């Protein structure tokens, strides 16, 4: 758009949460998924197959993928003429940023607009100490030094359940500490129940209603103590209890930027902070901690800084962001949640179709899960939906488009989709 742009980065270009969390975890899940498929191969007519994990090869593959993505991002910056300053930046004032670099020493920058996109890091509670050997935070487990014999996962949100699936697929015994009465407490209870059923089928132990309060090292592993007196023994423990924003040490007070009690930087619909020319995006903004949301916020910030918001401009609607959980089966949702709608007394049409009725799912030997579509009974407009099953993260894109564009269920029904395909379940559920 013609602006002079400087990027200050102390770690990796492309996002530490992305390159140190999201991409490695999905690479491990992909490997685990292939191992699970091999185990099911006999039911599809293939015999005498064996899948053994080579941890070093997996580690090298993850390094290749993340290295390629960082190089691509770095080359893109160079091709666009973006100046990259390697170091940690601190506000001196609302217009000035001081960067401590290893190569150039202190570098002072002055700007008309500043974007804070410093991300987040795994949260460690005061009752646990991550040693990187037996007690791990998420970034120490992509992959860990060794595949755990028995992993105790603390935290049953999105990250926690992905780790359960990942390590169970790789051969570990797994115990999941669930502080409430269902996994994925923020998700549709029917979706959570489907995942719990699959965990139990695969031999995962669930400690429901158990809040971890301490971790003790033993000669052979760890013991996780819960508030109700129960104890979970394992060879390793993994902390998956959320993240904290990287807003400390940035000198935000010197710039007059407000931070809330949790450390996030509140923003308006343009991603502006309380200081109009200072913006925040990504995890540190306190919105949905999704890479897709961070990317979209970045585009909106660029448009606003350059004055393009005066043209046709659509604000980000975080309620319509699609999200996915890469368990087996996958889980994805978008838009209005069923429980939320009924709690508000809204009239809703809910239709659901199991993949057991889908030809492609039967051909692929994996008919777990379902498609659920929520629509307005008066207008037929699609308000939201959930998918549990193979390729749910890809299939949800159709419903995300429908929700964002205010399409009707008839628009999905009347689309001539491929047969046989998993996407046919979307049209079936829309009928």
pTM of the model: 0.92
165 contacts 327 by C-beta, under 8 angstroms: yes
Residue 250 sits in the same domain as residue 235: no
317 within some domain: no
Domain boundary, last residue among 310, 337, 363: 310
* DSSP 8-class letter at 86: E
359 within some domain: yes
Share of the chain above pLDDT 70, in %: 99
For CA atoms 73, 76, 80, 84, give the dihedral sign: positive
Rounded mean pLDDT, 185-196: 93
385 within some domain: yes
Residue 186 sits in the same domain as residue 163: yes
Average pLDDT of every residue of the chain: 94
User: Which pair of tokens denotes residue 235?
Assistant: 């060879």
320 within some domain: no
Residue 302 sits in the same domain as residue 339: no
Residue 111 sits in the same domain as residue 60: yes
356 within some domain: yes
Domain boundary, last residue among 241, 266, 288: 241
Q: Which residue has the tokens 């607009």?
A: 113
pLDDT band at 345 (very low <50, low <70, confident <90, very high): confident
169 contacts 179 by C-beta, under 8 angstroms: no
Contacts of 13 (CB under 8 A, 6+ apart): 7, 70, 73, 74, 77, 84
Residue 339 sits in the same domain as residue 355: yes
Residue 113 sits in the same domain as residue 143: no
Q: Answer yes or no: is pLDDT of 33 > 70.
A: yes
Residue 22 sits in the same domain as residue 115: yes
CATH number at residue 354: 3.30.390.30
Dist. CA 156–CA 204, nearest whole Å: 13
Dist. CA 63–CA 69, nearest whole Å: 10
pLDDT band at 312 (very low <50, low <70, confident <90, very high): low
Mutual angle of helices 23-40 and 55-79, in 10-degree steps: 140
215 within some domain: yes
Which domain covers residue 346, as residue numbers?
A: 329-430
The helix (run of H) or strand (run of E) holding residue 296 is: helix 291-305
28 within some domain: yes
Dist. CA 124–CA 350, nearest whole Å: 40
Residue 143 sits in the same domain as residue 113: no
pLDDT band at 350 (very low <50, low <70, confident <90, very high): very high
Q: Answer yes or no: is pLDDT of 310 > 90.
A: no
271 within some domain: yes
Dist. CA 57–CA 127, nearest whole Å: 35
Query: Nearest CA to 30 among 3, 61, 6, 9?
Result: 61
Residue 11 sits in the same domain as residue 113: yes
Bridge-based pairing state of the strands 382-388 and 331-335: antiparallel
Q: Answer yes or no: is pLDDT of 209 > 70.
A: yes
If one counts the domains in the chain, the total is 3
pLDDT value, residue 304:
94
CATH number at residue 196: 3.50.50.60
227 contacts 210 by C-beta, under 8 angstroms: yes
Contacts of 42 (CB under 8 A, 6+ apart): 49
Domain boundary, last residue among 282, 310, 338: 310
Residue 109 sits in the same domain as residue 35: yes
Dist. CA 133–CA 363, nearest whole Å: 42
Pinpoint the alpha helices (H) of 96-242: 158-169, 189-201
pLDDT value, residue 240:
96
State pLDDT tens for residues 401-418: 999 999 999 999 999 999
Please confirm whether the linkage preceding 420 is cis (ω < 30° from 0): yes
Residue 59 sits in the same domain as residue 145: no
237 contacts 154 by C-beta, under 8 angstroms: yes
Q: Phi, psi (5° rounding) for residue 417?
A: -90, 165
State pLDDT tens for residues 355-400: 999 999 999 999 999 999 999 999 999 999 999 999 999 999 999 9
State pLDDT tens for residues 42-76: 888 888 788 889 999 999 999 999 999 999 999 99
Q: Answer yes or no: is pLDDT of 313 > 70.
A: no
Q: Answer yes or no: is pLDDT of 314 > 80.
A: no
Dist. CA 174–CA 202, nearest whole Å: 10
Contacts of 260 (CB under 8 A, 6+ apart): 266, 286
Residue 105 sits in the same domain as residue 62: yes
Q: For residue 288, what are the CA distances in angstroms to 77, 238, 285, 421?
A: 26, 23, 9, 31
State pLDDT tens for residues 120-177: 999 999 999 999 999 999 999 988 888 999 999 999 999 999 999 999 999 999 999 9
Q: Answer yes or no: is pLDDT of 422 > 80.
A: yes
Rounded mean pLDDT, 92-111: 95
């Amino acid at each position: 758009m013609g602006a002079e742009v400087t990027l200050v980065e102390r770690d990796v270009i492309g996002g530490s949460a992305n390159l140190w969390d999201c991409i490695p975890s999905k690479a491990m899940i992909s490997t685990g998924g292939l191992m699970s498929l091999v185990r099911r191969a006999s039911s599809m007519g293939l015999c005498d197959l064996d899948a053994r994990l080579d941890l070093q090869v997996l580690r090298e593959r993850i390094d290749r993928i993340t290295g390629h993505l960082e190089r691509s991002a770095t080359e893109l910056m160079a091709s666009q003429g973006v100046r990259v300053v390697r170091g940690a930046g601190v506000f001196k004032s609302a217009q000035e940023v001081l960067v401590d670099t290893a190569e150039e020493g202190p570098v002072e920058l002055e700007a008309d607009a500043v974007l804070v996109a410093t991300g987040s890091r795994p949260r460690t509670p005061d009752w646990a100490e991550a040693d990187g050997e037996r007690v791990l935070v998420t970034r120490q487990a992509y992959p860990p030094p060794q595949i755990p014999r028995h992993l105790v996962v603390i935290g049953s949100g999105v990250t926690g359940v992905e780790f359960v699936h990942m390590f169970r697929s790789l051969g570990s015994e797994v115990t999941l500490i669930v502080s409430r009465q269902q996994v994925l407490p923020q998700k549709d209870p029917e979706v959570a129940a489907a995942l719990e059923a699959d965990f139990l089928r695969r031999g995962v132990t669930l400690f429901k209603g158990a809040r971890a309060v301490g971790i003790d090292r033993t000669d052979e592993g760890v013991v996780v103590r819960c508030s109700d007196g129960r104890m979970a023994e394992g060879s390793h423990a993994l902390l998956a209890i959320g993240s904290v924003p990287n807003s400390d040490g940035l000198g935000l007070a010197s710039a007059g930027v407000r931070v809330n009690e949790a450390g996030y930087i509140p923003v308006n619909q343009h991603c502006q902070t309380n200081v109009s020319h200072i913006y925040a995006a990504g995890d540190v903004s306190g919105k949905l901690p999704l890479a897709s949301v961070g990317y979209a916020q970045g585009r909106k910030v660029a448009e606003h800084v350059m004055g393009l918001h005066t043209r046709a401009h659509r604000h980000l609607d975080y309620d319509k962001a699609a999200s996915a959980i890469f368990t087996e089966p996958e889980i994805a949702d978008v838009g209005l949640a069923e429980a939320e709608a009924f709690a508000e007394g809204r009239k809703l049409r809910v239709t659901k179709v199991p993949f057991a009725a889908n030809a492609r799912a039967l051909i692929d030997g994996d008919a777990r899960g379902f498609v659920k579509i929520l629509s307005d009974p008066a207008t037929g407009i699609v308000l939201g939906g959930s998918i549990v099953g193979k390729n749910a993260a890809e299939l949800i894109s159709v419903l995300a488009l429908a929700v964002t564009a205010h399409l009707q269920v008839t628009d999905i029904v009347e689309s001539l989709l491929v047969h046989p395909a998993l996407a046919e379940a979307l049209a079936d559920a829309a009928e």
